[in-house]
Amino acid sequence: MSLEGSHSDIEKKAFKETTSVSDEAIVVEKAPEVQGGKYASAYANLMQMFHGETRGIERVPEEEKTQTSVYSAATMWLSANMVIATFSLGALSYSVFGLDFGTSVLTIVFFSILGSLPVAFFSIFGARYGLRQMILSRFLIGNVGMRIFAFINCVACVGWGAVNIMSSAQLLHIVNNGALPPWAGCLILVVATIIVTFFGYNVIHAYEKWSWIPNAVCFIAIIARLSIAHVFKAGVQNEAGDWVTWGSGRTFAGGVLSFGGTIFGFAAGWTTYAADYTTYMRTDSSPSRIFFGVLIGLCFPLIFTLTLGAAAITGIKTDDTYATLYQEYSVGGLVYAILVQDSLHGFGQFLCVLLALSTVCNNIPNMYSIALGAQAFWSKFAKIPRVVWTIVGNALTLAICIPAYYKFADVVDNFMNLIGYYLAIYDAISLSEHFIFRKGFSGYNIEDYDKLNKINPGWAGAFAFCCGAAGVVVGMDQTWYAGVLAAKIGEFGGDIGFELAAGFSFIGYLIARPIEKKHFGR
């Protein structure tokens, strides 16, 4: 019998028991008798030893929904966003979009909150219904629409992983005079991600609960060094000593919109995973506590780390060392210049390694949720264990990030915007369905989640997706294409793709959904 087949037998025969660790209840899945050979038996024993999760997209039974701590849900996103990838995105404010520091901060605050709101809201669904985000999407955007977004979600998970690893590989490479080649840095980060995601929900939450602390120490060290080097002051004052915090004009507005789109894509990037990380919370958990806990857990690290990146990049205006290393090694070189060059030396290199490893915190949700997205996409894929999809996703990430490493800034800018487009469409359709057509949580018969003949068929969602894609085409502003409306914003254009995507898909869904309900009766 194959490992896949024996794994399925384990799940069918598994019985559950609950133990208490600190303030969290950890679900333990046991298989009293394992068949299928020594490899399947070793796998089952290993998962049991580390309180590993063997469940995939099945609904979590009520007796296993024992977690009560909102802190665990909040720190999940605190650790995942207080990382070098977030810092790198903040650094694009001046290097790519030409924004001054004051405007960058306002853009960061507004678009971070905007992107975090749907993540916090959909986290409530995981606790209430015990279902993964893509399975919940059968109710929100329908079966056909869900499959579209599940596919894109899998692609996005790999893309996020590659983008995150590239920034860290730069830093690992420059430490110790380039002794570690870029491909080796990428490999180290991928293997570390596999180790944590292999064991699933409980181990992921345990890791993310504390891993933000060393990351915060590294960023505090960056703040101290920037302050000593007077980079903050030099970056926001002109030669006359006047504070320069505001720009103006159509071209400047275009830069704000484009930078805002990248921030929205990063912040809202967790939307299609949101419920995955609250499914084991008690059903009677307070929705408001979950919402505000996740919102704070997201917004604080986003605003803090993005702002720090925006401040640090201003140093290339006045410091030749910063400018040279940034030109050669991008953000990794900038961090090295701040912490090591004429700075903390050996200890600075240690901090650089810690900061590079922070990427594992950010990649864990991507590589866990890619498995759930793949299983939701097609029923035959659901028969393949979650851990297999996790390993496949990491392998694809490694294959992409190594060649893309050499064009880091362009890859980050283009990828973040593309992600923002599809997330805006998802949010517009899902929120429309929830508030307008289902009229809140009372409109769900959640027992029908696996009965495809009783749930929303999804043709309206597919139509709305196409409408949103049309909005993207006319509003996007990328290096390889600029839409007709985007080209009219400033000398170099301005990206309004995600705004138009949300608006077009919202209107399309309002038109198509009543027709779908009348024709199919659901």
- Reported as a single tens digit per residue, the pLDDT across 174-183 is 888 778 888 8
Q: Please check whether residues 367 and 264 belong to one and the same domain.
A: yes
Rounded percentage of the chain residues whose pLDDT exceeds 90: 48
Quote the domain boundaries for residue 268. 70-407
Q: Can you give the pLDDT at residue 219?
A: 96
Q: Name the least confident of 108-112, 184-188, 219-223.
A: 184-188
Task: Answer yes or no: is pLDDT of 368 > 50.
Answer: yes
Average pLDDT, the chain: 84
Task: Answer yes or no: is pLDDT of 425 > 90.
Answer: yes
| Confidence at 493, pLDDT banded by 50, 70, 90 | low
Give the integer Cα–Cα distance in Å for 278 and 126: 5
| Confidence at 410, pLDDT banded by 50, 70, 90 | low
What lies within 8 Å, CB to CB, of 106 at 6+ separation is none
Tens digit of each residue's pLDDT (9 = 90 or more) over 452-467: 889 989 999 999 999 9
Q: How many H helices and E strands in the chain? A: 20, 4
Residue 65 lies in a domain: no
Q: Please check whether residues 292 and 186 belong to one and the same domain.
A: yes
Q: Please check whether residues 21 and 75 belong to one and the same domain.
A: no
Residue 169 lies in a domain: yes
Residue 504 lies in a domain: no
Identity of the amino acid at 25: A
Taken in order 391, 394, 400, 403, is the CA torsion positive or negative? negative
What lies within 8 Å, CB to CB, of 30 at 6+ separation is 14, 15, 16, 17, 48
Give the integer Cα–Cα distance in Å for 332 and 423: 28
Residue 356 lies in a domain: yes
Task: Answer yes or no: is pLDDT of 160 > 50.
Answer: yes
User: Per the structure block, which two tokens stand in for 96?
Assistant: 């790519």
Q: Please check whether residues 79 and 25 belong to one and the same domain.
A: no
Give, for 215, the enclosing helix (H) or strand (E): helix 212-228
Residue 227's CATH number: 1.10.4160.10
Residue 485 lies in a domain: no
Give, for 160, the enclosing helix (H) or strand (E): helix 142-174
SS3 243: strand
Task: Return the top range by mean pLDDT from 160-164, 225-229, 274-278.
Answer: 274-278
Give the integer Cα–Cα distance in Å for 422 and 471: 11
For residue 152, which phi and psi values (nearest 5 degrees)?
Answer: -65, -35
Residue 483 lies in a domain: no
Q: Can you give the pLDDT at residue 354?
A: 93
Q: Please check whether residues 397 and 314 belong to one and the same domain.
A: yes
| Confidence at 166, pLDDT banded by 50, 70, 90 | confident
Q: Name the least confident of 40-49, 161-170, 365-374.
A: 40-49
Last residue of a domain, one of 381, 407, 433: 407
Identity of the amino acid at 124: I
| Confidence at 317, pLDDT banded by 50, 70, 90 | confident
The stretches of 175-210 forming alpha helices (DSSP H) are 182-197, 201-210
| Confidence at 343, pLDDT banded by 50, 70, 90 | confident
| Confidence at 29, pLDDT banded by 50, 70, 90 | very low
Last residue of a domain, one of 348, 374, 407: 407
Half-sphere exposure of 354 (CA within 13 A, CB side): 20
Q: Can you give the pLDDT at residue 339?
A: 93
Give the integer Cα–Cα distance in Å for 54 and 48: 9
How many domains does one find in the chain? Answer: 2
Average pLDDT (470-497) is 78
Identity of the amino acid at 347: F
Residue 25 lies in a domain: yes
Strands 477-478 and 481-482 come out as: antiparallel
Give the integer Cα–Cα distance in Å for 522 and 514: 10
| Confidence at 12, pLDDT banded by 50, 70, 90 | very low
Identity of the amino acid at 192: A
Q: Please check whether residues 276 and 300 belong to one and the same domain.
A: yes
Q: Please state, as a whole number, how many other Cβ atoms lie within 10 Å of the Cβ of residue 58.
A: 15
Average pLDDT (360-372) is 91
Task: Answer yes or no: is pLDDT of 409 > 60.
Answer: no
Q: Please check whether residues 12 and 122 belong to one and the same domain.
A: no
Q: Which of 105, 80, 82 is nearest to 160 (CA)?
A: 80
Q: Please check whether residues 171 and 34 belong to one and the same domain.
A: no
| Confidence at 163, pLDDT banded by 50, 70, 90 | confident
Give the integer Cα–Cα distance in Å for 102 and 246: 6
Q: Please check whether residues 212 and 360 belong to one and the same domain.
A: yes
Distance set, CA 406 to CA 69, 85, 190, 309, 413 (Å): 42, 16, 18, 20, 14
Task: Answer yes or no: is pLDDT of 35 > 50.
Answer: no
Q: Please check whether residues 16 and 135 belong to one and the same domain.
A: no
Q: Can you give the pLDDT at residue 41?
A: 65
Residue 211 lies in a domain: yes
| Confidence at 288, pLDDT banded by 50, 70, 90 | very high
Q: Please check whether residues 50 and 79 belong to one and the same domain.
A: no
Q: Can you give the pLDDT at residue 102?
A: 87
Average pLDDT (348-366) is 92
Give the integer Cα–Cα distance in Å for 160 and 5: 31
Q: Please check whether residues 145 and 194 belong to one and the same domain.
A: yes
Q: Which of 213, 189, 210 is nearest to 364 (CA)?
A: 189
| Confidence at 2, pLDDT banded by 50, 70, 90 | very low
Is-contact 415 166, C-beta < 8 A? no
Give the integer Cα–Cα distance in Å for 456 and 450: 12
| Confidence at 28, pLDDT banded by 50, 70, 90 | very low
Give the integer Cα–Cα distance in Å for 336 and 222: 10
Is-contact 166 413, C-beta < 8 A? no
